[in-house]
Structures are given as structure tokens and as C-alpha cells.
Structure 1
Amino acid sequence: MFVVTVNDRPLQTPEGAPLAVPNRALADVLSAEWREHGDRPLTRLANTAIDRMPVLRLQALEAVLVFAATDLVCHWADAPLLLVERQRATWQPLLDLVAQRHQAHLMVTAGVMPIAQPRAAFSALRDALKAMDSFHLTVLHEATVLSGSLVIALSLIEGAIDAEAAFRAAQLDALFQAERWGLEAETAARHDSLQAELRLCARFVTLLGA
């Protein structure tokens, strides 16, 4: 582990633990955040991983799995056809990827009808999450809440898609409607914020693997 320092002074988390991260690349970026005296979004994720995740790991894991029960990408429209085709083209590859990598075969439904996902899929996903360290699980939780989809978040965290693709997948329906009716300023601002947060998640994961 690498302790983050500023002017040779080791930094601590809000709970008083050493701000220590898995590699030098991430430590250097966090140190730069502190020297800039602005927002420290990457430091926030690291603090959560160090202070909160060890204590709340089980709760965080189960909270993420809740999303799989009603995952966004498993609930397709039944009309119009153009929207359905776009959902299939965007979401099906992500479902296939999760099935291939984790043997988690999630079912798809159309319209508003609920669907019970296979227990084996939940078991496989739980095993995948249990294998994650605190840093990866922290950013996965963040990306899942942001996107409304464990499938999208896993695809982002594992490098299968970038932040822009994750945003388009998460906001597919809204973007489809915007093409027809336009985008209100408030919605556009929310989209900008979501894109920025997803880019942050992607950058954090990239740095973890550096």
C-alpha cells in the first residue's frame, strides 16, 4: 500500500486511518488533488473504501445486489420498435458479457411486467462481488447507484465500456425521448452531472489498475 503524502506529510482519512491506496499512480493523483485545494472527488472514494467499506461491506454488497432484481437493462419497452431495437443493441451485449464473465444469466422482460431472476444468477453475482477488494467494491457501488444498473456498473468497472457508453446505456430511454421532444435545461444539467460522476468512477478504476 502507498500512503498519500503532501509536502512529505502523510495524510489521513476522516476516521484517522492512513490514506493508503494500492499503487503509486493513485497515490500521486490523490496527492495532486490535495495540492490543488479544490474538490477532491477521488479522495472521497478512497476515504469511503478505507473508512466505510470494511465496516459496511455486507450491507453495500447486498444493496448492490438489490439492483440486479429489477435491473434497468432487464426491463425493455414493448414499443416503439425503434426504442426496442436500440435497447437490444445497447443492453443485450452487456447482459451477454455478465453471463459470460460471471455465469450470471439474467432474464429480460418487456413492458412493466416484473420478472423473477434466477437464484443462480444472484449467487454468481454475489460471488463476484465478494471477490472484490474494498476499493473496487466502493466504486462499483457508486456506479450502480448512479446508473441504476448493476450490469452497467460491472461493465464499466471491468473495462468493457467507458463512461460515455455507461451514460448512454443508463439514460437510453431519456435520450430516445429527447431526440423526439428535446431536452430541458434541468435534465441536461442532470445528464452533465451524471456523466461527470461516471467519468470519475472510470478514472478511479483505471488508476487502481495502473
Structure 2
Amino acid sequence: MSRIFPVAAVLFAGSTLIAFTSPGDAAERAILAPAAAMIEPVVGHLETATFAGGCFWGVEGVFSHVKGVISATSGYAGGEAATADYESVSKGTTGHAESVRVVFDPTEVNYADLLRIYFSVVTDPTLLNRQGPDRGTQYRSALFPASPAQEKVARAYIAQLSTAHIYTRPIVTRVESNRRFFAAEAHHQDFMARNPTYPYIVLNDRPKVAALKRLFPARWKA
């Protein structure tokens, strides 16, 4: 079901959001994760990484405010090109997850730094195939590493967090290698920046950006 509704419909969904994001769900709860013990070596001026952690509006919104991030693009990863569109992905049967491709300068912010932000602010890694009010495999918590080095760092960091018992439940975030990214439709790009008062954004995504600014002030950019 599309999130591009008339305001009245979104407000009705908002009452559902409150129920879904009750304390028992532990959804969208910001936790300051420790710095990664393993860091990917810098091999170039720009790198790319893809993250999935619920609705791509909020994931994009967070990463676009990280210092050193050049661009954040909403899209789909995990499935095939033929089904890389919002209507198909929304059915939850394509293998795709709503994802965000992040282009960053590793001399300013490395992949391990982005992982720390992702696990602290972007996603609740203990929720299986859901985030906040959204349900389905298309909203899974997943990492799509762009290189073997990124995959090694991602798996090591998940193991580090699991050993440290940062969360009260097991981490279910998946690492999915060799998956293509497909950019989403134009109206999904920069959605949060263009619609800051949209009810879904206010309830679910602006708190994530506020948590980024609060927990990572040195990483914040306006």
C-alpha cells in the first residue's frame, strides 16, 4: 500500500503508527552503538554502500545529514530489474527491500562509521521484516556491501554488536552480497526534505534525524 495518501488517510494511519511503535515493539529506538573494531581501508576518494532499514524516506533522510556523505538515493535492492518499481516491491514478493545507496568520501566518514550510525539511528536490527508501522520483507533490515572489504567489515560489526549484547534481542539484520541497486521513482527522492510536515515523516523519520544530531554531533551536517 502506498504511503502517498491524502492527509486524512495518513492521519488515520498515524493512529496505527502509535500502536505499532509502542514500547513493546521497541521500534525506531535510538541506541548509541560502539565504534566498530574493524575498519575498511581507504582505497579511493569516493565509495558506495547500500542500506535497507524500513521506509527509504527516513533512511535517506538520515544519511543525507551525515558529514562526508555526497549523496543518498532511495531505491530497491535484493531483487531483479523487472520488479524494481514501487508498486511491485510493495507486494513483498519481489525479493527487493526499500534501500538507500550512499555515496561517501571515506576520508571524512568511513563505512564502519556509517554502519555505526545505521545500527544506532536508522534501524532496529532486532525486528524481522518490519520497521515502525511497515510490515513485509521489503522493509527488512539489510546491508548490501559493495565490495568484499565492506562485507567483511559488516559481518564483523554485527558479530561485535551481538557479542556486546547491545540489544535485548538477537540481531536479524541480513548481509546480502552481489545485489544490484535500482533507483526509485523521482517522487520518492528527497521526500523528507521536500515534505518535512508530512504526518508519516513527522511520526517516524524526523525523530531519527534528531537522534543523529543528538548522538553524533561531530558527524552532523545541516
**Between Structure 1 and Structure 2, which shows a larger proportion of strand residues?**
2
Q: Highest Rg: 1 or 2?
A: 1
Q: TM-score, normalised by structure 2?
A: 0.23
Higher-helix-fraction structure? 1
